[in-house]
Structure 1
């Protein structure tokens, strides 16, 4: 069940939709619930919301490598979906948890670009499906299978774009980031990302070494999957629900004009729209 809109929120949604419809560079098929999500993530500050909307949709026209080729049944996407478990669920206090667990010892199958493409696809599926509005979003990453080989898999261009997207374009209220099973060399790996992250984001990051219980200072057992000493279903079980939601949206992901300004016809080579001034890089 979605939350009812107060008259004040409804008015803000109408104002935002009116503004979007007047912008020639923005798509015109944005549902009210999506517009409201952007407003909610920005605490209903209209100017900040407009900037977030601009950046969110700019990515779709300037970064085809992250947005195109998103058929969840394609071999490349199936490959990454088999080595990553994901979960997204609500906990007490109207908070959302976003959980990422890699299951690829040796990083033999891992592809940084494909992981990023999958991440954006899953987030799109979530905002298309979800009608609840959390007060806080928490990200939990399990790095048990991450080793120094990750450096050879790291794509600087992808990392820069994803960092920009996560910090300024995703319509969520990010408050905490937890790194579980952090290896001794995590400082080296974190150092790869730090140049792309704002200080307020790096301040949200908390590292938890293997076999520690420090995560329970922030989250209770009722908030965590069985895999981590919690009472929630296992990551494998919750991942099935994530994949179900993705498959429900498969037809959307097959449409490479979805949420695009410059519509692409079959056979065209021009996949990147010219957006006003913004440069993702």
Structure 2
């Protein structure tokens, strides 16, 4: 489905007062929990992300939610078979850096950072890398995007606020060391599912993608990815071929890892923080009540 239809409205205006979106949120949670074509449970903050992603349009939010969980259940090896103790998952965490950087940009966006930690092409595993990204995302989606303590000093529970949720995501992809040999280890099937989910079913709008440390054969990488990327997304991608100065003009430099000239912390520290987040949320991530659809009836998204 087209998540970008209300993109500008969602970026500049919540389109709903606190009372209005609270009522919509309560309606959607009740609809979700009573829908036999959806899992049993959903965290309110997760539903709020869906709602904000669709500019507080209830009808379009329902469509996004249905597509999201239909795709999850059609491809459980990517979205539901999750075990932090699994050897392949542990290896995937070692060889790739998937980082959700602290804070939000002045435009209200979240920065996500990706790079190869192990340059040996034989360590690539499309299934595990995709699984880890969505584990990180699902853990993140249960918490506010702004840096704040959940709960106040006197022990009060965190109160939902749509302003604590980013307007969208900005991805930064470092492809230094990526060679043509790596392409042989990329699963086209997994890549297709990943891109479709990210573009059409993910509860956060992609605002921009920055590709840094580009190799001389960049054109071949682009030609491989192009069939899976919608035109709107292709227009969001910026390739930085001559250092990082051009990147600093696009995202706040201080929000980047120290190794990239920023002040967000070292790559090792940021990675440890991300791994801890999915370990802390492991019970939630593996609880089928939040993910599995038990009903055998077919939704209108079943063909995805």
Bin of the TM-score, shorter chain as denominator length: 0.7 to 0.9
Matched residue, 1:109: 123
Contact 1:95 1:134 in 2 (8 A): yes
Note the aligned Cα RMSD (angstroms): 2.0
Contact 1:222 1:230 in 2 (8 A): yes
Question: How many residue pairs were aligned?
Answer: 268
Matched residue, 2:257: 225
Matched residue, 2:301: 278
Shift of 1:136: 3.4
- Counterpart of 1:159 (choices 184, 191, 210) is 191
**TM-score (ref. length: structure 2):** 0.82
- Greater mean deviation of Cα atoms: 79-88 or 14-23: 14-23
Contact 2:95 2:117 in 1 (8 A): yes
Shift of 1:11: 0.9
Unaligned 5+ runs, structure 2: 1-16, 146-163
Q: For residues 184 and 280 of structure 1, what CA distance do their matches in structure 2 show?
A: 39
Matched residue, 1:215: 247
Contact 1:60 1:259 in 2 (8 A): yes
Counterpart of 2:214 in 1: which secondary structure? coil
Deviations 1:86-106 (A, max 9, x none): 321223323211111211223
Shift of 1:210: 5.5
Tell me: CA distance 1:104–1:274, structure 2 relative to 1, closer, same or farther (3 Å).
farther
Contact 2:84 2:90 in 1 (8 A): yes
Q: For residues 207 and 189 of structure 2, what CA distance do their matches in structure 1 show?
A: 25
**TM-score (ref. length: structure 1):** 0.88
Shift of 1:70: 1.6
Contact 2:41 2:289 in 1 (8 A): no
Contact 1:161 1:280 in 2 (8 A): no
